[in-house]
Amino acid sequence: MQGRVGIGRHRSGKLQHPIPAWHGGEIKLARAAARANIPVCISTQSVTTIEEVRDGAPGALLWFQLYMWKDRNLSRQLLERVAASGVTSVVLTVDTPVVPRREYNVRNGFSIPLQYTVRAGVDVMMHPRWMFGVLRYLTTTGMPTYGHYPKEFRGAITRPSVSDAVKLENLLNWDDVRQLRQWWKGELVIKGILCVEDARKSHEIGADGIVVSAHGGRNIDSAPTPAKVLPGIVDAVGQKIEILADSGVMRGSDVLKYVSLGAKSVMLGRLPLWGLASAGEPGADAVLEMMRTEIDISLAMLGAQTPRELQS
């Protein structure tokens, strides 16, 4: 599944890789986010479609993370579906022009498309609860697919993309962002900004917000950390555009660190997924509640009543 949640004033969210953490995971995560009163961001590459999430989690505030395809017309058609599903904000990810080489995935035998190995098979057998929960796909709808891909290009997550049309655009540029701003009438957030110049450009083009993000440090290990560049970006454009942050959020105190550096909202990526993978929907609820509790405790320890007090 793919989705992401976040905590802050706008309370936004997202995640990577369409690997099912739980059967119907995007819907379950959306319901958990709704109960926590925060948005959830569904990805272009998710297993569950935006329409299915909307219908399965009617109380959720939906955002959509867009990875631009090579065929711009297909991306525009997807945005029309997204708008019709009641999505309020689109998050355009701009920091992944190519598939990164992540050595830990190579070492663990993980790849997209999935490769069948003895090690993977043994690992699945050692986790029967996950196996019988997630692998319900095989006995119902079959091997999960990229739900948002056009039917003629849709394939199982165990197979590579069959067409250049739906490959991620590796030549994305500011003209593409301008075009997207014309297409999309809702809020537009640009994710993957790490310098003042790009933050200013985002504002000039008409973006409503940016996410200062290093993609969790998983794309390029020499990228600056968001915490290092965030104050300068806030000083430059913080009064003109909404600034969110993510990467490396493991505890509630991490949320407060980003807020203290000027972020208006903080996005959570892997944490809710870990809860979902371990215990389904209640696990996602538990992780979000854990984060809120840690934020409250940290604020009390700092003698503050609200996160905004940390910015003064």
Catalytic residues: 215
Distance CA 202, CA 205 (A): 5
Going by C-alpha positions, the residue among 46, 38, 50 that lies closest to residue 12 is: 38
Positive or negative torsion for Cα 28, 34, 36, 38: positive
